[in-house]
Amino acid sequence: MVRSSSNNSAKTVGVLALQGAFASHELVFETLGVNCREVRTPQDLGQVDALVLPGGESTTISQLLESSELFEPVKKSVHEGMPVFGTCAGMILLSKKILDGRADQLSFEAIDIEVQRNAYGRQVDSFEADIEVKTFSSPFHAVFIRAPRISKLGPSVTVLAELEEDAVLARQNNVMVASFHPELSHDDRIHRLFLKEI
Amino acid sequence: MAKRETDRASKSTTGSMVVKRGLAEMLKGGVIMDVVNPEQAKIAEDAGACAVMALERVPADIRRDGGVARMSDPEMINGIQAVCSIPVMAKARIGHFVEAQVLESLGVDFIDESEVLTPADESHHIDKFKFTVPFVCGATNLGEALRRISEGAALIRSKGEAGTGNIVEAVRHLRSIIGDIRKIEQADSAELFDWAKKLQAPLPLVQEIAETGWLQVPLFCAGGIATPSDAALAMQLGAQAVFVGSGIFKSDDPAPRAKAIVEATTHFRDADIIAKVSRNLGVPMTGIGMDKIEQRYAERGW
């Protein structure tokens, strides 16, 4: 098995477990031999070195972040440089601006992108497609579920993969985002890419 | 209707099992709420529902009114789709593939082939592989769950007994499904043939469960959830999300109850939080004892 790096064996990756596909992310990390912890409370957050914001319903997760008193602590951690990876709903939560969101929907404003919710359509339009990821030697088979679209990127954001004209995997400093679901692909390369930063 | 359409320009695939199960994965840890109009849909979304189920009458009213219960008016479903940004599900009668075709054409995100509606076919369920939209189906035991999966269901829910506000049947179904999964995990390869026979389920699916220790699709709870504790009970028993039907909008004060059930579903192992959110919710739906009901919806389905 290929390990991402030897120095993250003692680190713990948190997966925000308020709602959504958190268990699928945990499975990938466990298979990679990485310590993993579900984050539902500020106490849980204190125990982790990095955080994954999974897919799910961004409006639901946004409300639960508030009621679980996690919004401010997560925002603080992310702005202080904690490595964070947001997939789908998680990407929406990390974006600077949400289009078509609810008026009260919160975002961490951690990456300089504008995101449009459900931009690829309803579930009947959800799809699988191969994408080319920078530094990967072969295509990554990506799963897009009622996916959000990155409609605008700031100059400090690096695009790591595109689908047609749209950026679908991007990074700015400690923040990585994907509009698709690498946790559903049975391919751990994108998770290993994230682990390199920890 | 076209299954697994491949768009040549983008080389992308829609309607695959991966994509169908994918949406079910996204709903995990959440609450799917029955709503009968756009106002309720807004309340549900505001309370943190991860999806809504659009239907004309909640199960408690279907039970009270009797008669034939059918797919909802497309106008009503479109009205609900117009006001909320979360996934919208809708129910088709068991075996009524035309209702399902109509729901797919409306762009619903998930179809519930539901025993709460009056069945249209007494021996066949819908061939769900023919559709691009994913289906959820109810089950009372593992055999039923596997038969639905073999027909293409992307998500299984316990049937429970809808419209009763009584969790006892959902508990029975969850314990039966998950209990049998545990037993199959322990079984040796020769015993799996007997399990397939007993469950009236395809052998390869039984063998897969023996290997993985879980169903091929997520398992949610439905039927009888009325309180935050009910939701947390279902989650602790092993359900991965909950459907709440009559339990919210048949209660005294739907909005705070809906929000409390959402929080209890997330923090299902934390009794302090469940206690906190359970305070001052007003009167839950009255509910009915199992000895008082004339029609058991859970018996519908084959």
In the prediction, which pLDDT does A6 show?
A: 47
How many domains in chain A? 1
Chain B residues touching residue A128 (CB < 8 angstroms): 12-13, 16, 18-19
Contacts of B49 in chain A (CB under 8 A): 60
pLDDT at B33: 97
- A96 domain-assigned: yes
| Higher pLDDT pick, B8 / B290 | B290
Note whether A164 contacts B: Cβ–Cβ < 8 A: yes
B273: its two tokens = 């939080």
Q: Which residue has the tokens 């192992």?
A: B269
ipTM of the complex: 0.94
Answer whether B295's CB lies under 8 Å from B138's CB: no
User: Which CATH number belongs to the domain containing residue A166 in this structure?
Assistant: 3.40.50.880
- Contacts for A180 with CB less than 8 Å, ≥ 6 apart: A87, A88, A131, A142, A143, A144, A145, A147, A168, A169
Distance CA B20, CA B3 (A): 11
Q: Which among A17, A102, A184 is the nearest to B18, CB-wise?
A: A184
Condensed to tens digits (0 to 9), the pLDDT of residues A82-131 reads 999 999 999 999 999 998 878 888 899 999 999 999 899 999 999 999 99
Give the Cβ contact number of residue B295 at 10 Å.
13
Strand locations in chain A (E): 12-16, 35-39, 50-53, 84-87, 95-99, 111-116, 127-133, 140-144, 149-153, 158-163, 166-172, 175-178
Q: Is residue A7 in some structural domain?
A: no
Rounded Cα distance, B208 and A20, in Å: 24
Question: Looking at residues A179-192, what average pLDDT do you find?
Answer: 97
| Nearest-Cα residue of chain B relative to residue A163 | B10
CA–CA dist B125, B121 (Å, integer): 7
Of A19, A102, A143, the CB nearest to B22: A143
The answer, yes or no, to whether residue B289 has pLDDT greater than 90, is no
Reported as a single tens digit per residue, the pLDDT across B265-281 is: 999 999 999 999 999 99
| pLDDT computed for residue B292 by the predictor | 85
Burial of A29 (0-12, 13-18, 19+ CB in 10 A): buried
Residue A70, beta-bridge partner list: none
Give the structural domain span for A161: 12-195
pTM above 0.80, yes or no: yes
Residue A47 resides in a domain: yes
Domain annotation covers residue A108? yes
Record: contact A57-B104, CB cut-off 8 A: no
In a domain, A1, yes or no: no
**In the prediction, which pLDDT does A80 show?**
97
Q: What percent of chain B has pLDDT over 70?
A: 96
**Whole-number CA gyration radius for chain A:** 15
**Can you spell out the DSSP letters for B156-183?**
EEE---TTS--THHHHHHHHHHHHHHHH
Helix (H, G, I), strand (E, B) or coil at B31: strand
Question: Which chain A positions have a beta carbon within 8 Å of B28's beta carbon?
Answer: 19-23, 56
- Segment A159-166 shows an average pLDDT of 95
- Asked whether residue A6 is assigned to any structural domain, the reply reads no
Q: Is residue A5 part of a domain?
A: no
pLDDT at B4 over 70: no
User: Which residues lie across from A86 on neighbouring strands?
Assistant: A53, A177
Q: What percent of chain A has pLDDT over 70?
A: 95
CA distances from B8 to A131, B11, B108, B131 (A): 15, 5, 25, 20
Task: Give the confidence band of A132 by pLDDT, cuts at 50, 70, 90.
Answer: very high
Whether B5 has its CB under 8 Å from any CB of chain A: the answer is: no
Phi-psi region of B221 (alpha: psi -120 to 50; beta: other; left: phi over 0): beta
Cβ atoms of residues B218 and B24 within 8 Å: yes
Identify which of B7, B26, B48 has the shortest CB distance to residue A145. B26
Say how many C-beta atoms besides its own lie within 10 A of residue B67's C-beta.
8
- The pair of three-digit structure tokens given for residue A140, joined into one six-digit string: 């990554």
The answer to whether residue A126 sits within a structural domain is yes
> Given an 8 Å threshold on Cβ–Cβ distance, is B15 in contact with A124?
yes
Which one of B26, B42, B278 makes the best mutation probe of the A interface by having the most chain A beta carbons within 10 Å? Answer: B26
Interface check for B270 against chain A (CB to CB < 8 A): the answer is yes
- ∠ CA B178-A31-A158, nearest 5°, is 120
**Which chain A residues touch B13 with a CB distance below 8 Å?**
127-129
